[in-house]
Amino acid sequence: MHIPVLQKEVLKYLDPKPNENFIDATIGGGGHSLEILRMIEPRGKLLGVDWSEEMIRNLKPKIQNPKPKNRVILVCGNFANLTEIVKQQKFSRVKGILLDLGYSSWHLEESGRGFSFQKKEPLDMRYSAQNQLTAEKIVNFWSKFEIKRVLTDYGEERFAENIAQRIIEERKSRAIQTTSHLVEIISRAVPRGYLHQRIHFATRTFQALRIAVNDELSNLEKVLPQALQILELGGRLAVISFHSLEDRIVKNFFKNNLLKINLLQKKPVVPTRQEISINPRSRSAKLRAAIKI
């Protein structure tokens, strides 16, 4: 089940009002957007964007166009191209934009694309089937130096050197094609004590590969200035990140644009203990928000 992260806080800082137009650039399961749509009745419009074809297809039955017609526009696309998407859809007078950078429960549990290290699935990790790069290609064809760089830069993995070396050695005898095979390799590459940490020993490697496959950090750097440009004066931008690399990009973007925005909070908003107990995946979420001036 899709549970929207920091929903009350997102609505507080975006502050949707009747007849305003909003963009959810990572609409996913639609948890935030369904509530935004209700709050912008009767004539407010919502543009929902998601890179996963399946997410858009699954969402359509849940978001039937409410009256009056054409209040919801769903687009399958990469938010790195947000300006072009907005232009194509002739979507204007935007009062708020949401970026929820976390992947959904659907990706972990139903996609079959190897996002979870707890299942045996193909090493894919693509949000969109149109993407040519997969995690399998990285681990089987990239050099040790490139693999180590990915694990270090995107996963902040302490044992990146050891894991990269094990991957290179393993693929000499057989291709690395499944998540379970990769987890086995990682388990042999790290110290025994690392196998029993609070965070699963494969977490950082899987995060790093997912980021590399989908070019997530570069896409985030591209969308932020576009979002600011698209917003009307007084419009609000809210961004939920789930690891330090994303949060750093958002924090620095806001810091570098203080002549154009006012921050809506001094420090990022994090989930309450109650929310974490209900939705453990929310534990690493951080929300930053700003208003265009």
**Tens digit of each residue's pLDDT (9 = 90 or more) over 102-144:** 777 777 777 888 999 988 999 999 999 889 999 999 999 999 9
Residue 28: predicted pLDDT: 87
The CATH number assigned to the domain holding 190 equals 1.10.150.170
List the CATH number of the domain containing 40.
3.40.50.150
Residue 183 resides in a domain? yes
Query: What is the pLDDT at residue 107?
Result: 74
CA dihedral 129, 132, 134, 140 (to 10 degrees): 150
- How many domains, the chain? 2
Tens digit of each residue's pLDDT (9 = 90 or more) over 238-278: 999 999 999 999 999 999 999 999 999 999 999 999 998 98
Are residue 96 and residue 120 in the same domain, yes or no?
A: no
- 93 lies in some domain: yes
Is 236 found in the same domain as 206? no
Q: What residues have CB less than 8 Å from 59, skipping those under 6 apart?
A: 27, 28, 29, 30, 48, 50, 74
Q: What is the token pair recorded at 19?
A: 């007849």
Nearest to 155 by CA among 117, 193, 121, 119: 117
Q: What is the pLDDT of residue 198?
A: 85
Whether residue 15 has pLDDT greater than 60: yes
78 is a domain residue = yes
Q: Are residues 27 and 100 in the same domain?
A: yes
Cis peptide before 268 (omega within 30 of 0): no
Structural domain span for residue 189: 111-214
Q: What is the pLDDT of residue 66?
A: 58
The answer on 235 and 274 residing in a single domain is: yes
**Residue 17 and residue 150 in one domain:** no
Task: Give the residues across from 72 on adjacent strands.
Answer: 46
Shared-domain flag, residues 161 and 234: no
pLDDT of 68 higher than 60? no
Any domain includes 1 = no
Asked if residue 204 and residue 121 are part of one domain, the reply reads yes
In a domain, 95, yes or no: yes
Are 138 and 150 in contact by the 8 Å Cβ rule? The answer is yes
Q: Tell if the pTM clears 0.75, that is, is over it.
A: yes
Domain boundary (181, 214, 247) is at: 214
On whether residue 2 sits in a domain, the answer given is no
pLDDT at 218 over 60: yes
Are 30 and 63 in contact by the 8 Å Cβ rule? The answer is: yes
